[in-house]
Structure 1
Amino acid sequence: MFRISMVMFALLACTACEAQSKTEAAAPAAIYTVSEGNKVDANTLQGWKTWRSMACERCHGAQQEGMVGPSLIDSLKKLSKDDFHKIMMEGRVDKGMPNFAGSEMMQKNWQNLYGYLKGRSDGKIKPGHVYPTDK
């Protein structure tokens, strides 16, 4: 009886370890890192630079809260990364959003831009200038 209990315990322990390992492996990598509200990782910084270079604030406002176009603070709470990519590449011409499929900068940096805007939407990145994280 004792031997069967030990075998059952060992099997349960292995199953629990395997489940935890699968959960850890499935956890997605952070799409942005931020400290002090305005110090960000290199990719997020590149996303912010893309935001500035593409002059997105003309429609979405300097703090991404909307003007002519919608608030990206609100939109990024609902949009998936795939939906964001589709909008960036195809646009929403009927709503005044151009497509950026022909922009080399956007082709290279749409994921970084998504990370920056997601950080703003999550309330982790403060509005305004961002800086590289201290190394």
Structure 2
Amino acid sequence: MIACMVGASLSAHAQTQGPDAALADGWRAVRVADCARCHGKDHEGLAAPSIVGFARTQSRERFIAAILDGNPQMGMPAYRGNPLIENHIDDIYRYFAARADGSLAAGAMPGRE
């Protein structure tokens, strides 16, 4: 329920604020999903591999499929059917692509100066 409310709020924010808001929405969705729990504080690896490194080496399509389909054998849950993630999958990809290409620093919160 909370994820649905956050997702609706994120959608409204991105529609009114443009590309920077989309990056911020991706960041927020990743925080709500608590990807850091397995992928580390800066998503550069911990118990699970680096999401930033994965975004650096994989196509957009492969990145999105990995998030939505997961890898249950390795402990990665599938997020297909999770409205917070599905509704912001492009924003999440943009966030990690920006981290991967260095245009967004680790620990930076998009949308804040």
Same fold (TM over 0.5): yes
Q: Distance in 1 between matches of 2:76 and 2:104?
A: 24
> Partner of 2:15 in structure 1?
none
- Highest Rg: 1 or 2? 1
Structure 1 segments of 4+ aligned residues over 6 angstroms from their partners: none
Q: Does 1:64 align with 2:31?
A: no
Q: Tell me the amino acid that sits aligned with residue 98 of structure 2.
A: G
TM-score by length of 1: 0.66
| Identity across matched positions, percent | 28
Q: Is the 8 A contact 1:92 1:98 kept in 2?
A: yes
TM-score by length of 2: 0.77
Q: Distance in 1 between matches of 2:110 and 2:103?
A: 14
Structure 2 gaps of 5+ residues are 1-18
Q: Distance in 2 between matches of 1:118 and 1:132?
A: 16
Structure 1 gaps of 5+ residues are 1-39
Q: Distance in 2 between matches of 1:88 and 1:74?
A: 14
> Partner of 2:63 in structure 1?
84
More helix by share: 2
CA shift, 1:129, in A, is: 4.1
Q: Is the 8 A contact 2:27 2:110 kept in 1?
A: no
Two-structure CA RMSD over aligned residues (Å)? 1.6
